[in-house]
Structure formats: C-alpha cells, structure tokens
Amino acid sequence: MKNLIKKQDIRKKLLDLLSRREHSRYELLTKLKHRVELQSALEEEINKLCAENLQSDFRFSESYIRSRYNSGFGPTRIKYDLLVRRVKESVISSVFNEIDLDWMEKLKKEKIKKYGNSSSENMQELSKRINFFIQRGFEKEMINKVIN
C-alpha cells in the first residue's frame, strides 16, 4: 500500500494531479480520500484550490465535453457522465450553452465512420444502428434525421 500523504503535502499532490489534466472536485476527493491522514485537510485544500480558480468544475466540464465529443459520444451520454462525476447540473447546462459544438454534424460523421454511406437493408439492421447511437448518447430525433 502507498504511504499516506501528510497534511503539508496534500496541496502539492493536488496540484500534481491538476497539472496533468482537469479534474472535477469529486474526482480529486475520491482519488485521495484514502491516501491522506486527515480527510478534513483534503477538503480544505480542495476548497482553497477552488477559491484560487486552480480547480474548476466548469473548466473540467468543458474539457470533458470536448474530449467525449471527439470520441464520438452524444450530449445525453456526456451529461450523464458529468452527473456521475458529481458536477452540478447548473454548471453542466451553462457549459453546454457556452460551448459551440455541432452535434448533428458529429452524428453524421460517426454514422459514416461506423457504417459508411450504405443504408440499412432491413428493419433489424436499422434497429441495431439506432440502438448503437442511443447508447452513444445521441437523441432519438437527431438519429432519425441522420439515419433516414
């Protein structure tokens, strides 16, 4: 087992994690809660980083949305994933309103990437395609416009 992180080293460890990529507040807490001597000291340091704007759930959400968008996921799935990471719904909504991504165009590209330009031969194939994109987090209306 790894050594416990001493109170004076918590900030250093948090900054180390944040220097690699953005993390949600909840991710930082769960990653380190079993590795620190004092849970309250960890929460206190995370609060300080938030106040100093070194940790931001808004920035994390922005980064996460772009990353998942580039990986071919839709808005519904991404919102769900952010909620699992305990990002507030208000933050998620404001990031989605601010970020300029063309979900319809992304869905078209993902369809071509996965299935080419061919249309489905039968209802079973069509159903499989629709389910695939629903699991990826695209909305049914969007999928119907692109597939049909």
Residue whose C-alpha is closest to residue 60's, from 39, 78, 42: 78
63-107 per-position pLDDT tens digit: 999 999 999 999 999 999 999 999 999 999 999 999 999 999 999
Residue whose C-alpha is closest to residue 141's, from 102, 99, 96, 107: 107
Question: What global pTM score does this model have?
Answer: 0.89
Question: Which two structure tokens, joined as six digits, stand for 45?
Answer: 């340091």
CB 143 within 8 A of CB 134: yes
pLDDT (mean) for 1-30: 91
Sign of CA dihedral 103, 127, 118, 68: positive
Instruction: Round to whole Å and give the CA distance between 49 and 42.
Output: 11
pLDDT at 3: 79
Query: Residue 140 burial (CB < 10 Å; 0-12/13-18/19+)?
Result: exposed
Question: Which two structure tokens, joined as six digits, stand for 43?
Answer: 């929460």
96-132 per-position pLDDT tens digit: 999 999 999 999 999 999 988 888 788 999 999 999 9
Domain boundaries in the chain? 7-51, 57-98, 103-147
pLDDT (mean) for 36-54: 94
Question: Which two structure tokens, joined as six digits, stand for 144?
Answer: 């119907």
Instruction: Please give the DSSP secondary-structure letter assigned to residue 21.
Output: S
Instruction: Round to whole Å and give the CA distance between 68 and 80.
Output: 12
For the structural domain made of 57-98, what CATH number should be given?
A: 1.10.10
Instruction: Please give the DSSP secondary-structure letter assigned to residue 119.
Output: P
Contacts of residue 41, Cβ cutoff 8 Å, sequence gap at least 6: 7, 10
